[in-house]
A and B are shown apart, each in its own frame.
Chain A
């Protein structure tokens, strides 16, 4: 279903226009696709260029200008429910392509666009059916390369980075030195991760930084000492998980040595890493 415009004045719907043409012109003169016979509207006021499912509005240097959602624009990429204003007239842009149309799934499928052929002519490329394995070349195993691990980029002493940024993607680190310094690096927040569930934290129980606490607000938080032992805590929609990253020793959770698999963390689990004990718990 193509996008459409609803023309109204003073809340009174005058007309509904479907955007089928590549260029839809709007103006006072009769040759326009959408004619608005009002002196506040220029002869050739604006044009809407539609390319497949996207429409772009452009003001053609009109005397009184074009507003979208109350803001004057020269050029605008129209989003569904945008309200275009020309003088006292309003045009509401409706494009429920993504929501209705075909199934949203079909819509997301990659299709090829060839010059001179519309994607429709290409035939909808859908892929349901029985799954069948195709012999694909096996992916190579990582070669046992002599990896010298790079130190974590920004390792700040914990004491100076006590405040936990709640947004953004800045790196954040904390040292939890027992005898040697360890760092916790915490980058990135996916909106998803932050949006869901309760926030947990890690509190250091042993070593020089005993008592320190850090909220696990980001999608990934690395713990440990680069080059010696590093683990990562991932924040996922279904909860927190700890995974070994590097080093000969694996983390210990509640006295149990982990393997290479991600391990779900529960409230009050005790994590042991490079000789430092810490407690994982959910903030209330």
Chain B
């Protein structure tokens, strides 16, 4: 099933004002309903290597696998859609690749990356994330964060130690508690959300949400929803105008058509007609 008519995707990535190179990496495939964003860390260019490996491994493998197995098909043993299983497997694979590279090459030692990846299928989105890269959703006038960071700060907020308001002044902003490629195994957090026509999904690296308030991001998406590409550029520009202290990356996905999974021969016929 080709989703390029159902999803409109725009992305933008920028090194920011302060840093000399971009350790973020983005990839998207509208036909497969697949978007991946990674924010790398590590000495020299290791961060770029880690995030590049993550997006490349996950995108190319999933493109191939989603061709073979429809993502909406349920896995007989567990009853979960294949999309989730495939994501879990490919994230594990990317983790192994990065981890092994980091172990075997001294210049890559300690490299890792955060990740947020989403697969759209059957009027749903399955999102996997590790670390502090985020997924937001604009639905009507409601703009909200769907992922919860794997970070020290989020843990402190969850435990009631500090309030989200105080969190803005925390000195511990950039400590993630999970990352891809740091340990031999990693546990991604995976959730599935139903989508609606007109929803706009935003995947971003912390370079955006550290520099621009959620409120301003939501307003920008609402105001510029008619032009997704411009909205993506505007968000990056706002992060840079506010100081651009980190690399900043955004992927925007808008649901423009229904993309329910074909169920009977009739709907399969109609989906073929599209």
Q: Chain A's nearest CB lies how many Å from the CB of B256? A: 5
Stretch at the interface among B24-32, B119-127, B260-268: B24-32
Q: Does A92 contact B (CB under 8 A)?
A: no
**Complex: how many Å from CA A138 to CA B52?**
11
CB < 8 Å neighbour of A143 from B30, B169, B230, B246: B30
Asked if residues B26 and A125 are in contact (CB atoms below 8 Å), the reply is: no
Chain B residues whose CB sits within 8 angstroms of the CB of A230 once the complex forms: 226
Please indicate which of the listed interface residues A53, A135, A187 has the most CB atoms of chain B within 10 Å of its own CB.
Answer: A187
- Residues on B close to A: CB < 8 A? 4-5, 7-13, 18-21, 23, 25-30, 36, 39, 41-49, 51-52, 55-56, 59-60, 109-112, 114, 131-132, 141, 152, 156, 161-162, 166, 169-179, 182-183, 198, 206, 212-213, 215-216, 219-220, 222-230, 234, 237-238, 241-242, 245-246, 251, 254, 256-257
Chain B residues whose CB sits within 8 angstroms of the CB of A8 once the complex forms: none
**Complex: how many Å from CA A137 to CA B173?**
29
Q: Chain B's nearest CB lies how many Å from the CB of A191? A: 9
Q: Chain A's nearest CB lies how many Å from the CB of B218? A: 9
**Complex: how many Å from CA A277 to CA B173?**
47
Q: Chain B's nearest CB lies how many Å from the CB of A100? A: 12
Chain A residues whose CB sits within 8 angstroms of the CB of B26 once the complex forms: 136, 139
**Complex: how many Å from CA A30 to CA B30?**
67
CB < 8 Å neighbour of A127 from B19, B28, B174, B234: B19
CB < 8 Å neighbour of B43 from A126, A138, A220: A126
Chain A residues whose CB sits within 8 angstroms of the CB of B183 once the complex forms: 114
Q: Does A255 contact B (CB under 8 A)?
A: no
Asked if residues B27 and A139 are in contact (CB atoms below 8 Å), the reply is: yes
Q: Does A123 contact B (CB under 8 A)?
A: yes
Contacts A127-B19, A143-B4 given: A149-B55 contact, CB under 8 Å?
A: no
Interface CB pairs A-B, < 8 A, 17: A79-B169, A108-B174, A110-B132, A110-B174, A112-B182, A119-B175, A127-B46, A128-B20, A139-B26, A139-B27, A142-B8, A143-B5, A143-B7, A145-B257, A147-B256, A219-B216, A232-B234
Residues of A within 8 A of B (CB-CB), count: 68
Chain A residues whose CB sits within 8 angstroms of the CB of B242 once the complex forms: 190, 192
Asked if residues B246 and A127 are in contact (CB atoms below 8 Å), the reply is: no
**Complex: how many Å from CA A152 to CA B224?**
9
Q: Does A77 contact B (CB under 8 A)?
A: yes
Chain B residues whose CB sits within 8 angstroms of the CB of A236 once the complex forms: 237, 241
**Complex: how many Å from CA A56 to CA B246?**
28
Asked if residues B25 and A136 are in contact (CB atoms below 8 Å), the reply is: yes
Asked if residues B152 and A219 are in contact (CB atoms below 8 Å), the reply is: no
Give the number of residue pairs across the A-B interface with Cβ within 8 Å.
214
Chain B residues whose CB sits within 8 angstroms of the CB of A105 once the complex forms: 18, 245
Q: Chain A's nearest CB lies how many Å from the CB of B154? A: 12
Minimum-distance CB pairs A-B, first 6: A137-B27, A53-B171, A131-B21, A246-B226, A140-B28, A134-B52
- Give per-residue flags for A95-136: 1 if the beta carbon is below 8 A from chain B beta carbons, else 0: 101100000010111111111000100110111111110111
Chain B residues whose CB sits within 8 angstroms of the CB of A98 once the complex forms: 171
**Complex: how many Å from CA A152 to CA B221?**
11
Q: Chain B's nearest CB lies how many Å from the CB of A61? A: 18
Contacts A52-B152, A113-B176, A219-B216 given: A137-B59 contact, CB under 8 Å?
A: yes
Asked if residues B27 and A187 are in contact (CB atoms below 8 Å), the reply is: no
Asked if residues B56 and A136 are in contact (CB atoms below 8 Å), the reply is: yes
Asked if residues B227 and A131 are in contact (CB atoms below 8 Å), the reply is: no
Chain A residue at smallest Cβ distance from B215: A169
Chain B residues whose CB sits within 8 angstroms of the CB of A107 once the complex forms: 174
Contacts A136-B52, A232-B224 given: A52-B175 contact, CB under 8 Å?
A: yes
**Complex: how many Å from CA A234 to CA B238?**
10
Asked if residues A77 and B10 are in contact (CB atoms below 8 Å), the reply is: no
**Complex: how many Å from CA A147 to CA B216?**
24
Q: Does A243 contact B (CB under 8 A)?
A: yes
Contacts A111-B175, A188-B219, A234-B234 given: A77-B162 contact, CB under 8 Å?
A: yes
Q: Chain B's nearest CB lies how many Å from the CB of A114? A: 7
Q: Chain A's nearest CB lies how many Å from the CB of B266? A: 24
Q: Chain A's nearest CB lies how many Å from the CB of B238? A: 7
Contacts A127-B42, A139-B27 given: A77-B166 contact, CB under 8 Å?
A: yes
Asked if residues A125 and B41 are in contact (CB atoms below 8 Å), the reply is: yes
Contacts A136-B55, A142-B10 given: A127-B172 contact, CB under 8 Å?
A: no
Chain A residues whose CB sits within 8 angstroms of the CB of B45 once the complex forms: 127, 129-132, 134
